[in-house]
Amino acid sequence: EVQLVESGGGLVKPGGSLRLSCAVSGFTLDSFTMSWVRQAPGKGLEWVSSISGRSAYIFYADSMKGRFTVSRDNAKNSLYLEVDSLRAEDTAVYYCAREVPTASWYFDSWGQGTLVTVSS
Amino acid sequence: QSALTQPASVSGSPGQSITISCTGSDLDDVNYNYVSWYQQHPGRAPKLMIYDVTYRPSGVSNRFSGSKSANTASLTISDLQADDEADYYCSSHTFSNLYVFGSGTKVIVL
């Protein structure tokens, strides 16, 4: 069974940093491009970043460039997202999602999300 | 990258059909051949309902169908049921290797 489990969220002060993790099981991580998607309270989904299986290709949404860093450790079956200089508007549930390993573009599996709250 | 535009809400009675639209700009670089749709119940993770415009993943009811015309994709839910009440998001890939989501539509079952 495919499972994605995010962790690392919590309450952080403005200007602080956070590292989110996504532990996966049930599939071979290095065969899949993975993404982070966030959702502010009461708002819609917002794609953050994607990273290819061997980290050769990394992409960020325009609004995420500079403060967000995605990485992965396939040996540890884990995906990461570091966020620096946190702002109130970064408050959101952060989901990791698996992209399909075919010539298409969609997310076939999602984690349950981890909540990041930025507040003083 | 601007979000794709969806109606804020769509409502229907049980047994009826509803359609949710997902529209982009003529100037965006969205690849409309890869539109997908996600259902999200409150407090839950999104669930894939349609991919590549018209395809349903295994396990998704055939009451859900997708289509597109030019830069507008649509999700139709037929024989509306109480459990269909949820938020629905369209998404697609861009020629710049980014993803974009729609603004989201709340489906209300009357």
Please list, in sequence order, all residues whose beta carbon lies within 8 angstroms of the beta carbon of residue A20, skipping any fewer than 6 positions away.
A6, A7, A8, A9, A36, A80, A81, A82, A83, A94, A114, A116
Q: What is the predicted pLDDT for the residue at B1?
A: 58
Helix-then-strand count for chain A, H and E: 0, 11
Cα B27–Cα B32–Cα B37 angle in degrees, nearest 5: 125
Question: Chain B residues with CB inside 8 Å of A44's CB?
Answer: 3, 89, 101-104
Query: What are the φ and ψ backbone dihedral angles of B79, each rounded to 5 degrees?
Result: 50, 55
Interface membership of B101 toward A (CB under 8 Å): yes
**Which residue positions in chain A have pLDDT lower than 50?**
none
Q: pLDDT 10s digit of each residue in chain B, 110 long?
A: 567 999 999 999 999 999 999 998 866 788 888 999 999 999 999 999 999 999 999 999 999 999 999 889 999 999 999 999 999 999 999 888 899 999 999 999 99
Q: Strand, coil or helix: what is A52?
A: coil
Residues of A in contact with B3 (CB under 8 A): 44
> Which of A35, A44, A106 lies at the smallest CB-CB distance from B104?
A44
pLDDT tens-digit map of A99-118? 997 788 899 999 999 999 99
- Hey, which residues 6-45 in chain A have their CB within 8 Å of chain B? 35, 37, 44-45
Which residue of chain A is at minimal alpha-carbon distance from B3? A46
pLDDT at A110: 98
